[in-house]
Structure formats: C-alpha cells, structure tokens
Amino acid sequence: MTSLNGLVAICLTYVALLFFVAFLAERAAARGQGGWLSAPIIYTLSLSIYCTAWTFYGAVGYAARSGMEFVTIYLGPSLVMIGWWWVLRKLVRIGRSQRVTSIADLISSRYGKSNSVAIFVTAIAVIGVTPYIALQLQSVTLSFSVFAEMDENSAPLDPGNSAFWVAFGLAFFTLLFGTRKLNTHDREHGIVTAIAVEAVVKLIALLAVGIFVVWGVAGGLGDMMARIDASDIGAWQVDRARWATLTALAGMAFLCLPRMFQVLVVENDNDRQLHMASWLFPVYLMLMSLFVVPVAVMGLELTPNANPDLFVLTLPLTLGQDGLAVLAFLGGFSSATSMVIVASLALATMVSNHIVMPIWLASRDQGATVSGDVRNVVILSRRLSVGVIIALGYLYYRYSGGSAALAAMGLISFAGVAQFLPAMLGGIFWRGATRAGALVGLAVGFAIWVWTLLLPSFGPDGVLPKSVLESGPWGLSWLAPSALFGIEGLDRMVHAVWWSLSLNFLAFWVVSMFTFPRPLERLQGAQMVNVFEHAGAAQSWSVTAAESEDLLIMAQRILGPQEARDLFRSEAKRQGLGASMAEPTPAFLQRIERELAASVGAATAHAMVSQIAGGPGISVQDLMAVADESAQILEYSNQLEVKSAELSRTARELRLANTKLTQLSVQKDAFLSQISHELRTPMTSIRAFSEILRDTDVLNVEDKTRFASIIHDETIRLTRLLDDLLDLSVLENGQVTLNRQQGTLGKILDRAIQSAHPSGPDPLTIQRRIDLEDIVLDTDLDRLTQVFINLITNARKYCDADKPCLRIEISSKKNQVFIDFLDNGAGIPESDQAVIFEKFSRLGDSDGSSAGLGLAICSEIMERLGGCISYLPDTGGTGFRVTLAKVHTFPVQ
C-alpha cells in the first residue's frame, strides 16, 4: 500500500519531471531547436486541458449517477472540432491577424477596441471560472484524502491545508514558466510542453484503468457488456432536454472558455495545427470517454458505498493495484494542474491587460510618452493576477465548504462563459453587431445566469432565501429562479441555459439592430467578418500628429529597447529611408499598435497609440474601402456624381443655347423692325410721288421728270437694299459657293479702285505701294474685290478731310497678308467701333443713301474666305485691316 508520504514523494517527483521537461523545452526553443514545439500534435495535445479533473474523475461519477449523459460533455466539443470549417477556421484566422490575446480582447477588439466591453467580459470570466479552479483544488485534495484514508499510519488529512499547498505549488509553477514572455503569441514553450506531457499521462492513466477494469476485473468485452446491462444504470434512461442542451452547451463552452480560447486561438500558429486537431482531438475525447461507463459500472458493483467521483482511484486501490492507482492519481493530478495553469494564465492576461494596465496607465499623468521600460510592470501585473486568481480559487474552495455545491460548478461555469457566444459569433459573422448590443446581450445573459444558476447553486438559504428560490422575490412567481415566466418543470440546467442564452441572443440582436456603431467598430467589424478577403489590416490611423521619437519611446517601454529599435529599423528600410528614423505613417502606426496589442491587448494598445497620435482619424474613405456595402455605396455615389456632372453640363449647354436663342430672337426682331423701316422710307416717297403723278393733271414736264427720277432713284435704292439683304442672307446661311481663283493682289485692287471710281471727278487720292502688291492670293477674287470696293467707297463717302486721301498698305507676316485701308478722316469714335460690323449700323449717314449693310457684308465675306476684317484704331484717321491667308510668297514672274 502506497503511503501518503510515498504518494507525496511520487507527486513531487512527477512535478520535478514536469519542471525538467519545461526547462528542456525552453532551452531548446532558446537555442532555436524548438520547431517541433509548434507541431500540430503538440497543439492537439494542448487542447486536452478541456479534460479537467472534473472530467477525469467526475465523468465516472456522472456516469454512475445518470448513465450516458456524461458523454454530451465530450460530444459537443467533438462536433465543434469536426465542424472546424464553420467557426474555428475563422476564429483562428482572426486571432492571428488581429493578434488577439484573450477572448475578452477579441470581443473588445471587435466592438471598437472598447475597454468597457473587455472589462465586462473579464469580470464574467473571472466569476465563472474561479469556482472551476476551486473544483480542481478540491479534486486533487480529495484524491489525496483517498490515499490518506487507506494509509493507517498517517493522520487524517486536513483538506484545507493540502489544498493550500496544491494551490501554492500550482501558482509557483505557473509563475515560473507561464509569465516569462510578454507577447502572448510567443508561445510559452515550457508550459505547452509540460501540458502536452500531462495530456499523455492522463490519457494513459484513464485507458490503463479502463483496460484493467474490462480485461482484468471483468472477463473481457462481452462480459463487460453483460455487466453494464445488468447494472443500476443498465436501462436506457436519458433526459432528452438535458441531452440536447448539454451537448450544445459543451460545444459553446468549448469555444468560450478562456483557457480553451487561449490554446485554441491565441496559441495557434498556423492552419495546419487546426487541421490535425480537427480530427485528432475528437479521437482524444473519444478515448477519454471510452472506459467511463465500464469503470462506473464496476465501481458500482464492487464498491457500492464509495464516492462514485473517485471510482477511478478507489477501484484499483480496492483491488490492490497500487501502481495503477498511483498512475490514476497522476492522471487526475495532471488534469487538475494543466487546467489551473492555463486557466489562471488566460484569466491573468485578461485581468492584467484590461483592468490593471488601463488603470496603471491612467494613474500616470505623463501618459504614454514617458520613457522607461514598462514591460516589467506588465509582467508583474500578470504575475500578481495569476496569484490573485489562484488565491481566489483557493478561498472559494475554503469558504464554499468544498461539497456538492462545487461538484455542480463545472456545468454552471460552462453556462456562464457560454454567455460570450452571441457577442463573439455575432461579432465575427455579422457586420451589424454593435458594442451596445454586445454589452446589453452580455448583461442580460449574465444576469439570468447569476439569478437562475449561480445563486441557487449555493443551496436553499445559501445566498437566496428558500422562499425566494421557490416563489420568486417579493412574491413575484414569474421571477422564481427555477421557473422564469412561470414555466415550471424544466430541469434547472436546461431552464437556465435556455433562458439566459436565448434572451442574450435576443437582446444582442435587437439592440444591435437599433443602435449605430462608431467608425472604429464598423472598421473592426468589416475586418473580422471579412477576414478571409482582407489579408492585411485596414488603416485606422489616417492623420498623425505623432513624432517618431515619441513612438519609439513608447514602443521601447512595451517591447523592450532592442526589439523596438529593430522594429523601427525594419520599418525605415521598408519606407526606403535607410538608416534614418522611420516616418510615423498610418501604416506604421497600425503596425506598432498591433505589436503592442500582442502584449497588452487591443484596447490598451489602441489607447496608448492614440495618446501619441492624437486619436484615430478614420476617414470615410477608409471605412468605405473595407466595407462591401460601403463599397457599393461608393460606387453608386460615383455613378451619381458622374451623372450629376453630366446633367449639369447638359444644363449649362442648354442654358447657353437658350441665351443664344433669346439673343437671336431679339436680333431677329430688331432686324425685322430695322428692315421694315428701311423698306418703308423709299416706299413712302415712291408712293407719294406716284400719287402726285397720277392725281395731278397739271404738271409741267420738268416736274414730271423730276418726280419720275425720284421714284426711279428710290427704286434703285430699294433694289440695292434688297440685293444687299439677299447677299447677306446667303452669306450668313453659308449657302454661298466660293469661286476660287488665283490672282495677284495688285490686280484685285486695280479692279476695285476702277469699280469704285465715280463718274465725276474724284476728290479722293489713293496712295498705293505697287511694288508690294505682287502677292498671289488663292481665293474668291470677285468677293474680295467686293470687300475692297466697299472699303474704298466708304472712305470716299465718309472721309471728311479737306484733301481726302486713302493709303493702302500691304504687310505680311508668316502666312498672312494684311491689307490696311487708312484714310485721313476723323475716324470712328471708340464707342461705335464695336458696332460698325453690325447690320444697319450707320454712322453719321444722314442722307440715308446707305443701308448700313456694307461692313456687315464685308465681315461675312471675309469669314467665308477664311480671313477677317477689323477696325484699326489710332491710325490718325479711319483704318480697316483685311487679313488673308496667302499661298505664295514669291512674286509672279
């Protein structure tokens, strides 16, 4: 019979072995030989912390009490692992890309890096998990006491005392190997390896006991089956609601338990690990539960009065298999210790990152820019948190009396942490989830869990008076903890899980529907929901008021001087800056924040960076760029913008056209009234004189001739006017056909001067430069002559000098010929210069011999000929310039 002292010695040897293994692993990793440490098999084994002492010992007890129901605790996680494609694949990808440090960090990070969410989640986790740690202490203590009872030589064990030493030892081990590194993504190799060893030990222990029971005690499989059917639990009795609820609950808790999140998500390095674990971990669970029923049945048969929870130990001891019993003890011990180590580490990270560090940072007025290494502060706070959490577990164990209340704690704890599920799953699958929704959902679920499960678990008159438990507070029976809304008869567990989770989901959904997320929340939501589409991180920093030096100082405090300098150097290289300081670009800020987040959590890291960068400036573009729906909106708005630009352009064109039309209409009216006036004047005189001729009998020949010639003149004038109008209209409509010919300028001028020559003596002298006139023009010569005639006639008609003189000057520049007609008259006043080319503009023409169409016609002609005519001011008289394109520069031979 192994004595208690012997057991303690074995136990210490085992622990020393674990220390040694952890030490070896740390050394291998330090030497760079630790590649095997991230092998998928190690990852899979580290998941085995799901199987705590509660499941190691408790499953048999559970089976002895309620038959097959124990298996649901394993079925749920098996289904979750086998269905890894649905949730875990996304979860580990987010965990890696966002450098998540804990479940609280994930949820807070999703909801805009909100520290209030993180604190809330952390608080629920601590409340839910601390009793679970107490349960582990209890199981180790109980297993010690089993040996103590069998050992006649030893005094009865003081459970409180032994629990204290167990807690102390666990805290010591955790602190020694679990809090060496700040960055939670740098795996704690010592711990991970020790846990993998423990995983193997507990599996072998349980299998050994099972094999011994089936083939050593019973007569093999067939006999075992017969014994099972003949036993107390041989009848198939299953509470259907509990079966379904517990399977689902175990699956949910598997994702939400802080320690499971730690090993599943935070410590995940690559997808390969998950791939192997997806089938190998269910194998592990299956093997762990394979012999539970046989052991329970044998225990009931051989030691009916013993505590079923300890059958795994008492059965070998009763049958004199000391070695097997010690192995079983080590299995249970392993289960308890690995769970406590990881759970306390995971909780400590949460407490330290989300509660201690923000308070510590806030208590320092200097803010984040002050120099000095705070890594020690973070590690110290994490170590203190580990100590406090294990101490809380111990205290809970001492003061809860370590009894039946504690045994039920496993499932109660499951239900508590399962409250994270709506916020977590909603956050990673639904972009519409908001911080307010998550907070309200968590609060509702947590409150119902406390009311219906946690408080009643202390028993009648434990915390709640018996009357309240039975008929609700203040006689409100619909609030009774076991029958919410008056629905009675449900199993307590089913009742609590159903109401807490469904109302949690409902509240989360409804509040999310009717609240609006902040920009950072939307950004993070898009990042997480579309984690497979967005490989990189979105920029949540756009404008920076940050100085590189401040950033370096801050990064040094968390990452360490060497690491921070390395980070800055690599960033400078990436920015192409060589040896100089990296620029605080938004991308760099993002990178720093991510590095910090791996150590102190997203919320704290974000707060620290924003102290320096002056708050995140998420631009609308950033949001839109990452968001699918926003991208669509962006596209629509772009299209709208294009359309609206098009519309405004069209409107502008229409407006212009309208103005033009209005102007044309005004011009047309003016033209019509002008023309009727022009036509009316000669008509009036023609009518008057023809009436005189008709009605007056006595008219001498002289008068008759005079009147007839007036009529004749007026008719000629009318004809000329109509000719001009016709000409102008033809020119304006572009119907004119040009009769292109070649001729020299001199010849054209000769013809024009000849045509314009009056029949009488000519007072106007014309000065020409014949030598310059040998320029060949290719144009409609008749039309050009018409323009020249018009200009010469005008000069003759309007030049008011004593000795009127017209100079015709020729000059050329590049391909253009300028023919200037300059007289020595009074010139045209500046105010009139603008209108001389308009129709019917007559200046100082009092005799009405001109219709004022000449220059308008000239202007139209020149336009048709590809040239122009303009008024030349400041020539000491009236000057017109005719500009034409020339074809040949050489004189005609």
Partner 1 sequence: MAPHPEPGVFLERTSYRRRRLVDGLKVLPLLGAWMFMMPLLWSVDNTTMSGALVYIFIVWATLILSAAVLLVWLTRLRRASATHTPQDVL
Q: How far is the CB of 275 from partner 1 (least distance, A)?
A: 6
228's tokens = 């099972």
Would you say 247 or 599 has its CB closer to partner 1? 247
For residues 523 and 862, give the distance between their C-alpha atoms in angstroms, rounded to a whole number.
Answer: 68
Closest CA to 826 of 753, 877, 871, 783: 877
Work out whether 86 is an interface residue with partner 1 (CB under 8 A): yes
Give the range of 84-92, 121-129, 483-491, 609-617 binding partner 1 by CB under 8 A: 84-92
CA atoms within 13 A on the CB side of 456: 22
From 247, 353, 413, 779, residue interacting with partner 1 (rule: CB under 8 A):
247
Exposed e or buried b for every residue in 206-215, given b needs 16+ CB within 10 A?
bebbbebbbe
Work out whether 243 is an interface residue with partner 1 (CB under 8 A): yes
Q: How far is the CB of 69 from partner 1 (least distance, A)?
A: 10
Closest CA to 345 of 292, 394, 382, 400: 382
- E strand or H helix at 812, and its extent? strand 805-813
Closest CA to 829 of 807, 798, 857, 851: 798
Would you say 271 or 809 has its CB closer to partner 1? 271
286's tokens = 């299956």
Please give the torsion angle defined by the CA atoms of residues 715, 718, 719 and 723, in that order, rounded to the nearest 10 degrees. 170
Q: How far is the CB of 407 from partner 1 (least distance, A)?
A: 23
Work out whether 237 is an interface residue with partner 1 (CB under 8 A): yes
Cβ-Cβ contacts under 8 Å for 853 (sequence gap 6 or more): 721, 724, 725, 728, 839, 840
Work out whether 458 is an interface residue with partner 1 (CB under 8 A): no
Q: How far is the CB of 269 from partner 1 (least distance, A)?
A: 15
CA–CA–CA angle 736, 741, 745 (5° rounding): 110
From 9, 238, 543, 738, residue interacting with partner 1 (rule: CB under 8 A):
238
Give the range of 274-282, 316-324, 560-568, 767-775 binding partner 1 by CB under 8 A: 274-282
For residues 882 and 893, give the distance between their C-alpha atoms in angstroms, rounded to a whole number.
Answer: 25
Work out whether 66 is an interface residue with partner 1 (CB under 8 A): no
Q: Are 247 and 79 in contact (CB under 8 A)?
A: yes
Work out whether 494 is an interface residue with partner 1 (CB under 8 A): no
Q: How far is the CB of 68 from partner 1 (least distance, A)?
A: 6
Would you say 281 or 394 has its CB closer to partner 1? 281
Work out whether 672 is an interface residue with partner 1 (CB under 8 A): no
Work out whether 252 is an interface residue with partner 1 (CB under 8 A): no
Work out whether 80 is an interface residue with partner 1 (CB under 8 A): yes
Task: Give the x/- contact pattern for partner 1 in 293-332, rule: CB under 8 A.
Answer: x---------------------------------------
Q: How far is the CB of 228 from partner 1 (least distance, A)?
A: 5
3-state secondary structure (DSSP) of residue 24: helix
The CA distances from residue 810 to 76, 775, 813, 867, 883, in Å, are 106, 10, 10, 15, 10
Give the range of 243-251, 401-409, 602-610, 882-890 binding partner 1 by CB under 8 A: 243-251
Work out whether 114 is an interface residue with partner 1 (CB under 8 A): no
Give the range of 193-201, 206-214, 272-280, 516-524 binding partner 1 by CB under 8 A: 272-280
Work out whether 279 is an interface residue with partner 1 (CB under 8 A): yes
For residues 587 and 602, give the distance between their C-alpha atoms in angstroms, rounded to a whole number.
Answer: 16
Kindly report the backbone phi and psi dihedral angles of residue 33, in degrees, each rounded to the nearest multiple of 5, phi listed first. -105, 20
Work out whether 282 is an interface residue with partner 1 (CB under 8 A): yes
Work out whether 240 is an interface residue with partner 1 (CB under 8 A): yes
Closest CA to 394 of 175, 134, 169: 134
Give the range of 104-112, 165-173, 234-242, 365-373 binding partner 1 by CB under 8 A: 234-242
Work out whether 244 is an interface residue with partner 1 (CB under 8 A): yes
For residues 313 and 308, give the distance between their C-alpha atoms in angstroms, rounded to a whole number.
Answer: 10
Work out whether 229 is an interface residue with partner 1 (CB under 8 A): yes
From 149, 151, 269, 271, residue interacting with partner 1 (rule: CB under 8 A):
271
Closest CA to 355 of 82, 117, 687: 117
Q: How far is the CB of 279 from partner 1 (least distance, A)?
A: 4
Would you say 28 or 290 has its CB closer to partner 1? 290
Residue 193 exposed, middle or buried by CB count within 10 Å (0-12, 13-18, 19+): buried
Q: Are 303 and 315 in contact (CB under 8 A)?
A: yes
Distance of CA 569 to the CA centre of its chain: 28
Work out whether 236 is an interface residue with partner 1 (CB under 8 A): yes
Residue given tokens 């001199």 in the structure block = 746
From 225, 407, 538, 868, residue interacting with partner 1 (rule: CB under 8 A):
225
Residues near partner 1, by CB under 8 A: 67-68, 71, 75, 78-80, 82-86, 225-226, 228-229, 231, 233-238, 240, 243-244, 247, 271, 275, 278-279, 282-283, 286, 290, 293
